[in-house]
């Protein structure tokens, strides 16, 4: 159950649906609660007492907002497909998940639904109560929608700029490191043997998303069991593949409670440091391709990657979470920082070696990182050539 709630919370459609539902509830309440709006000067100015005029206004609002919505989102998606696919299609969710974009979608959808409910109420010619202020309020909502669409087009035009996207990926990677830093006192290194009892992925295959290790520890503490996470965050897990181990045999109920802390989904997790590093590498590599030929963007990605490497090497390769209770631990799998450094610069050098500027920049960055962290001197990568 917790897994589905997490998916729902992270869904792009959640916030727009809630806002649209609020508009529907507002329309229903206005029809159910009888108020004499003529008594108030503010609402009296918005009142339209003729039902035919109100019906015409709502028809105009529904048609106008529908047209504006289709035009705006069709144009935006065309621009997204043309620009984002040049660098990495996996970066599109970064733009679509922006909260202010979801607010705009929810408000415009809510205005259409509000007008539909009010229009339906008008067609029921039973001589009952109808809020005279409804059409005036609908006009205000429609005017707000027009202003929001202007802002939406402005915001998306900035959001699709590759420099903005690189900065967003960089910030997301740093956020993951900050979460690690806030609990660093509870992390240590595990050198013991693997735990014995295996827990398999009984659901569909997918990527292991980020999880709250402290919440997992609380449940493991109640069960008096240690948990080992075999796969690292962002890894692909097959059906019926072992991804957890426990220090003792668990009941079906305990297994389900432990598995509720993990989300295995078909989408690539964007809340993991290594995934965001991979996205920056993809941007830099694709910018060097003959089809795009944008060395400036590649250089931008390489510069941000250098800073991310510096930030990552400030932390040890911890793989155990424990709050001080003996024999009570959460063992997790991580990508060692040395391996990450080697993989990143191997791939970038392979695609950027023919560009004299990028080649020199890569060598400079590697030299700087080795000066800061001498342990990297023993790692052989092509940039040394």
More confident residue, 8 or 52: 52
pLDDT surpasses 90 at 202: no
pLDDT surpasses 80 at 82: no
* 3-state DSSP assignment of residue 227: strand
Q: Is-contact 293 156, C-beta < 8 A?
A: no
Q: What residue ranges do the domains of the chain occupy?
A: 2-160, 165-384
The pLDDT tens digits for 251-304 are: 888 888 888 888 888 777 777 888 889 889 988 888 888 878 888 889 999 999
User: What φ, ψ does residue 232 adopt, rounded to 5°?
Assistant: -90, 160
Best CA proximity match to 244, nearest among 229, 265, 262 = 229
pLDDT number for residue 261: 85
Give me the torsion for CA of 214, 220, 226, 229, rounded to 10°.
-60
Does an H or E element contain 153, and which?
A: helix 134-159
The CATH homologous superfamily for domain 165-384 is Pyrimidine nucleoside phosphorylase-like, C-terminal domain (3.90.1170.30)
The pLDDT tens digits for 87-139 are: 665 556 666 667 777 888 889 989 999 999 888 888 775 556 778 788 888 89
What average pLDDT does this structure show over 340-347?
Answer: 89
More confident residue, 189 or 110: 110
Q: pTM of the entire structure? A: 0.75
Task: Of 14-18, 25-29, 86-90, 374-378, give the lowest mean pLDDT range.
Answer: 86-90
**What percent of the chain shows pLDDT beyond 90?**
9
Q: Is-contact 345 326, C-beta < 8 A?
A: no
pLDDT surpasses 90 at 23: yes
Tokens representing 285 are 């590599």
* 3-state DSSP assignment of residue 98: coil
- Helices 337-352, 356-372: axis angle to 10 degrees equals 160
Confidence of residue 71 (pLDDT cuts 50, 70, 90): confident
> CA 349: distance to chain centroid?
29
Confidence of residue 310 (pLDDT cuts 50, 70, 90): very high
Q: What's the CA gap between 162 and 176, in Å, rounded? A: 21
């Amino acid at each position: 159950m917790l897994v589905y709630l997490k998916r729902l919370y992270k869904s792009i459609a959640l916030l727009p649906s809630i806002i649209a539902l609020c508009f529907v509830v507002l329309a229903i309440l206005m029809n159910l609660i009888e108020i004499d709006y003529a008594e108030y000067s503010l609402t009296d100015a918005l009142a339209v007492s003729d039902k035919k005029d109100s019906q015409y206004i709502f028809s105009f609002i529904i048609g106008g907002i529908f047209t504006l919505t289709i035009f705006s989102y069709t144009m935006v998606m065309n621009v997204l497909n043309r620009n984002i696919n040049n660098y990495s299609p996996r970066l599109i969710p970064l733009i679509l998940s922006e909260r202010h974009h979801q607010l705009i979608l929810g408000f415009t959808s809510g205005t259409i639904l509000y007008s539909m409910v009010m229009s339906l109420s008008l067609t029921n010619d039973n001589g009952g109560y109808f809020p005279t202020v409804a059409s005036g309020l609908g006009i205000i909502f429609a005017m707000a929608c027009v202003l929001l669409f202007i802002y939406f087009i402005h915001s998306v035009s900035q959001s699709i700029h590759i420099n903005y996207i690189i900065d967003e990926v960089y910030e997301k990677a740093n956020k993951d490191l900050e979460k690690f830093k806030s609990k660093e006192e509870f992390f240590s290194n595990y050198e013991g043997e693997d735990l014995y009892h295996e827990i398999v992925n009984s659901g569909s295959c997918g990527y292991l998303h980020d999880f709250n290790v402290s919440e997992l520890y609380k449940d493991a503490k109640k069960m008096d069991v240690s948990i080992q996470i075999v796969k690292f965050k962002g890894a692909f897990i097959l059906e019926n593949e072992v991804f957890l181990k426990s220090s003792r045999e668990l009941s079906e109920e305990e297994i389900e409670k432990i598995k509720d802390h993990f989300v295995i989904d078909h989408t690539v997790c964007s809340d993991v440091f290594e995934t965001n590093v991979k996205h920056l590498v993809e941007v830099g590599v694709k910018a060097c391709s003959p089809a795009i030929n944008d060395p400036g963007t590649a250089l931008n990605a390489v510069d941000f990657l250098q800073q991310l490497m510096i930030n990552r090497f400030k932390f040890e390769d911890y793989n155990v979470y424990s709050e001080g209770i003996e024999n009570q631990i959460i063992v997790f799998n991580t990508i060692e920082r040395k391996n990450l450094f080697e993989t990143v610069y191997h791939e970038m050098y392979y695609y950027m070696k023919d560009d004299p500027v990028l080649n020199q920049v890569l060598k400079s960055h590697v030299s700087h990182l080795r000066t800061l962290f001498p342990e990297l001197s023993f790692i052989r990568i092509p940039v040394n050539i």
